[in-house]
Structure 1
Amino acid sequence: MNVTKRMGITIFVGMLPALIIYIGIALVPVAMSLYYSFFDWNGLSSMTFVGFDNYVTALKDSIFWKGFQNNIYMMISGIVGQLPAGLFFALLLNRSLRGLKLYRSVLFLPVIISAVIVSLVWNMVYGTESGLLNSILSSSGLDSWKQNWLGSPRWGMLSVSITYLWQNYGFFMVIFLAGLQNISEEVKEAAVMDGATGWTRLWFITLPMLKETIWVTLIFSISNSFRVFDLIYVMTAGGPAHNTEVMSIYMYTNAFSNMYFGLGSAVSILILIFSLIAIYAAKLITRRND
């Protein structure tokens, strides 16, 4: 047995436990959901094969498309809000600052806090009667600006997306910070010697060298926006009148509240398909820009 083949076997054996775990917690559930999506099943009685009826039911439901619209809203707000915020703080933390470790910990703190706790805290911020935001507006003489932020069809999704941005920007900050620290110091010094200013270095050196990092954060942002559930469920449960409902809440309601496991499984497969389409579209756009 030659050395290359022996190394390949060694690498495969080393990766095998992780591969088995990945198959068990990722691929097998997807396959099971795909299987159940072709059946009418309440979890107790025998399953009845219905073909694509569950998919047709979901695609004909206006509430499902409302959830899809809200997922797109979360995706766009995440890309426009979280990625620039993460890059901004990463650029700040990539400098020699006093108390740098403290700043990193504070900025990353929202990521490690439970989504339930984050939701409860921001519910107190958005509260109608004694919420922090309305109290600040009232004390500033702006009573006309006070709103039922989470219960308003106009402001509900914006309020939720701000909370979503605050919770997750630190995750992207860490990824960008790792990318910035991998940029060679020789490149930076050469740019300074050529007379490149701060903004010039950012646009023509830093961002191009972060291209792969930006692509990774874009994938994470898109996939996270289609998987968001607990934050919105605790804050609004999808209300009022489904105005803040996303596809994952629609899936949960049908599968575990209405006991339509086949329909819920079909919706989960549709969520996967839509997220893959969004990622592929982003890939095409970034390639065209390149």
Structure 2
Amino acid sequence: MRVPSLHLLRAFLETARLGSFSRAATALNVTQSAVSQQIRQLEQEVGTALFQREGRQIALTDFGRVYLKLVGPPIAALEEGHTTLRAMTGSSSVVLHLSRSFGSEWLAPRLADLAAQHPEISVTCMFLSPGDSPGGNNGDAYIASTSRQGDTNDFVIEPLFSTTICPVAAPHFGPVDVARLNDYPIIHTLRRHDDWQTWCMAADVPLVARDKGWSFESSSMSYSAAKHGLGIVMAELELVSDDIEQNRLRRVSPVSAPSGHNYFIAYARSRYERPALRKFRGWLSKQVPG
């Protein structure tokens, strides 16, 4: 069965929403006669009347009400998707691909400042997944660490910052003896599986067992679990600085160690001079730790 044309479905949806051919015509910027013809054509295609007509009054038939429930949500989703894509590709848009933890923990808390300074810029953030090829993404830039840096020939690379790691826990978690970490519930982040070992060696304390405790795929979930008191998590301090400052997390040791994660932003070379991206670049450079 052939799917009716979109302009016929939109005429039906507007007429059903507004309860009038004339008001639907105004909303669609066409004539009332055009809307009436489109509704008649749609009724011929579906094989039944969708509206009851009594003089100038119209109302949905039982079949019309069923049809509205069936086609209304998909058409709304299609229009929303079109609007979203237009916004993402507009001249004032910036599309970023980045890790979930960097976006949630470091970038998101700072975007209000970007909005205040550049309200004309629209930012879309999309999370990178393991195995993603940055060159296959059509965004303006991607943010990652050296551990996942790939082919960068088509990008202008600018360093952001390196991170340091330290175990943290919720303020109410209680005192922690770091020499006996295996006695406490430990939170592991699967994508940063070496961080506990790296820190324990730097702090000269017994290694934390990898097969005990809680394990989560992303840093964001690990940090959220720690904030709710589940256990001690190894954190990149630069990504949880706001949580520490606002007393949602606290360090359980004064010792920190280099994580080996060096964050950078890779701007698509073909889009590097776009006005919106130039403004974003200038803003971002001021957010990077000295």
TM-score bracket, shorter-length normalisation: under 0.3
Q: If the length of structure 1 is used for normalisation, what is the TM-score?
A: 0.22
Q: If the length of structure 2 is used for normalisation, what is the TM-score?
A: 0.22
